[in-house]
Chains A and B, each alone.
Chain A
Amino acid sequence: MAKARTSLVRSGLIHLALISYTLIALFPVFLTLINSFKSRNAIFRDPMAIPTPSTFDLVGYQTVLAQGDFFGYFQNSLIVTVLSIALVLLFGAMAAFALSEYRFRGNLLMGLYLALGIMIPIRLGTVAILQGMVAAGLVNTLTALVLVYTAQGLPLAIFILSEFMRNVSDDLKNAGRIDGLSEYAIFFRLVLPLVRPAMATVAVFTMIPIWNDLWFPLILAPGEETKTVTLGAQMFIGQFVTNWNAVLSALSLAILPVLVLYVIFSRQLIRGITSGAVK
């Protein structure tokens, strides 16, 4: 091992810092998971304890699966998340391509306008959005959620992707033009494959807030048919009594799909982070 640039103390401290951050970040997840497998009494008696044969209980999962249509909620969450990511990536990449590739009047202004959404939270417009959805008859539909989330994800997507697209070689695009590729073919066949790591980054950043969101499902689609997982879990939280077993079990289950999606994107994501650093 090269000793010239590493000291045991320094690398030890760095690892200590990273490990403690990991523990802090994972602790709530860990707590949720262990308690979801315990009986109600055991949760309150010793919330930090790991389930033992005497305290092990699947009552939470049983409640979740028996009450309400949790499979349906999962389906709703997945449909909304996947559709929103797809639309954000498609429209975000197209807008980013136009902004980075073509010289037109107002290009810079348009870019700033689109980036404005990063700074102003979309929730400020909730009332207007709700009025609009009511007028359009979209309340209690998944379409309403997909539309709102697409709008929410686009600014960051355009911002990140247009930076990456500026780095795609002009020569390559021009070679495509000379070979007779249409602008769409250049976009889909030459540029998109080259910015795939950036697309994965955007997908992950877009996915997590959408999956975890409670606000818009509660306001725009609270109906039984359109409930998402996060909203579904709320029915176990009451004003006076909260069924913690069920809440924790529902949340534990909700981690799974997002974990799968993350694993799919993260292979690309790591390539995105290291691209340029290593050739």
Chain B
Amino acid sequence: MGSLKLTSIRKAFGTHEVLKGIDLEVADGEFVIFVGPSGCGKSTLLRVIAGLEDATSGSVQIDGDEVASVPPAKRGIAMVFQSYALYPHLTVKDNMGLGLKQAGAPKQEIETRVTEASRMLSLAPYLTRRPAELSGGQRQRVAIGRAIVREPKLFLFDEPLSNLDAALRVQTRLEIARLHRQLKATMIYVTHDQVEAMTLADKIVVLNAGAIEQIGSPMELYNRPANTFVAGFIGSPQMNFIEAERLGDTQAKTIGIRPEHIALSRESGDWEGKVVHAEHLGADTILYLETEATGLLTVRLFGEHRYGADDIVFATPDKSRLHRFDADDKAIAAS
């Protein structure tokens, strides 16, 4: 229970095409994350799956059944929204139970399921409160609880952590990961934050301008990005892109090297440069170098290093970690 198949989904608002033919298969129990910059169509795609928007063309199948004419409530889905979207006039308990009540479930069953969900999310003390009396983190837990109570085939998350502060975000992220292991349910999650994507996903779908750029596990995307967009989007700080010509490579157009795959030395190395700015984060030291050979270069060193602005240093890339891209920005397979 809980597989999803999208076939050439297109969606246009007037003449503006937001989704340009999306094909995707999600297996039962998978945690899939749609990631991409603002306006790439990831939220629209989620809404199409939920049935809140109609696709202009293409088909959505949940568990092998075509759902184009099935209303959202009957698709066996549950959705968690960025703004929590709790019903302001209902208590936490009624918020979580409303979906089942509308579906005509017996009172006893609603009670059991709400109790179970609130136990999982430690919401039991708040069941009689209204959303206005809860903190942001608690509200989001109620929203997640409302989804769990429905026991859906498919969980849909629309940027659920964006409204939370940094500490709470990490905590709620762990909670979602734990829930996924516990429920073994299929989850589809939309975010613009690549860290969330890397930490939670079994499979990441990178979207850009309404089309899929690459699908793969987090480490596949990190180690073998299919094009410059994915290479630049996944990983922080961003991958360095260097014109291949400057390095004497005539077959590729762009060479990419991640900041953490560059070694630094004061004495000797491939590229000589001057430190423009140094960020000391304790666990990491991030240096921005201006070099003759490559232009501006970001280097990430692990641990503390005593480099400062205006120091002259030498950078040496790890040759086995170079990414080469052709004129169409596609990755050239390592030979």
A residues near B, CB below 8 A? 169, 171-172, 174-181, 189-190, 193-194
Contacts and interface: CB of A to CB of B under 8 A. Distances in A.
B82 A178 contact: no
B315 interface: no
Nearest to B89: A193
16 contacts: A169-B83, A171-B81, A171-B83, A172-B83, A174-B52, A177-B52, A178-B52, A178-B77, A178-B79, A179-B73, A179-B98, A179-B102, A180-B73, A180-B99, A180-B103, A181-B98
Nearest to B71: A177
A128 to B, nearest CB: 39
A180 B72 CA distance: 7
B262 interface: no
Please report whether the interface of chain A is mostly helix, strand, loop or mixed according to DSSP: helix
Interface string B50-75: 11100000000000000000011110
Contacts of A177: 51-52, 71-73
Contact of A190 (B47, B51, B87, B158): B87
Given A180-B73, A180-B103, A175 B88 contact: no
A194 B85 CA distance: 13
Contacts of A180: 73-74, 99, 102-103
A175 B83 CA distance: 11
A169 B85 contact: yes
Interface of B: 47, 50-52, 71-74, 77-79, 81-89, 98-99, 102-103, 146, 158
B89 A175 contact: no
Nearest to A173: B85
B80 to A, nearest CB: 9
B208 to A, nearest CB: 24
A61 B284 CA distance: 88
Contacts of A194: 88
A263 B72 CA distance: 43
A175 B52 CA distance: 10
